Amino acid sequence: MTIIKPIETIYNGYRFRSRLEARWAVFFDALELLYSYEPEGFDLNGLWYLPDFFVSNELWVEIKPNLQGNGDTAKAEQFVLTTGFPLAMCWGEPWYTDWQEGRGILLYERCQNPETPPCIIRNPVTWTGLARITSQKLHVAYLAARQARFEHGEIGKEG
């Protein structure tokens, strides 16, 4: 099995661990969502966790190339249970239809009963930060992320 190494990418003053994370940053920028990249790590009862983004000062976001299953989701659930913060688990490229239909994204929030596992909200549009974003703006953000080129400091443009 060949393992493909991520390519570190500099964008918007950050050194991202991968181009995938940089594409998500382009997506957030196009949506005019403020974010910081890996601003803080958390000790989850002996398990160290460093979420990728903190968006709009209210939502933690973890980016994965694909959903690995139990390991990724268990860590996300532990993060929400330990900190009480919501966490969006996003995998793959930012796609316009995913954000409209909730594919490729799981949004974890603490349930009202703190003894139960975090609730999974499959449609991220329920997150208040996205409520103000129109379909057209999502489409433009998708195009910007999809068209982003990082070799010479270029970024995506509306097509």
pLDDT mean over 23-45:
92
Q: What is the pTM of this model?
A: 0.80
Question: What average pLDDT does the structure give for the chain?
Answer: 78
Give the percent of the chain with pLDDT over 90: 24
**Looking at this protein, which amino acid is placed at residue 158?**
E
**81/75 Cα distance (integer angstroms):** 10
Distance CA 3, CA 144 (A): 28
- pLDDT tens for 105-123 read 666 666 666 566 556 554 4
If you write DSSP's letter for every residue of 73-138 in order, what string do you get? HHHHHHHHHHH---EEEEESS--HHHHHHTTTEEEEE--SSTTSPPEEES-GGGSGGGTT--HHHH
Q: What percent of the chain has pLDDT over 70?
A: 66
Query: Mean pLDDT lowest for which of 16-25, 86-95, 128-137, 143-152?
Result: 128-137
Task: Summarize pLDDT for 6-23 with one digit per residue, the tens.
Answer: 889 999 999 999 999 999
pLDDT of residue 113: 60
Paired tokens of 26: 């382009």
* Per-residue pLDDT reduced to its tens digit, 53-89: 999 888 899 998 876 655 677 788 888 888 888 888 8
Contact 59, 87 (CB under 8 A): yes
The answer to whether residue 139 scores a pLDDT higher than 90 is no
pLDDT band, very low/low/confident/very high, at 159 (cuts 50, 70, 90)? very low
Give the Å distances, CA to CA, from 146 to 7, 71, 92, 143: 16, 28, 12, 5
Q: Helix axis angle, 135-147 relative to 19-30, nearest 10°?
A: 150
Q: Domain extents for the chain?
A: 9-147
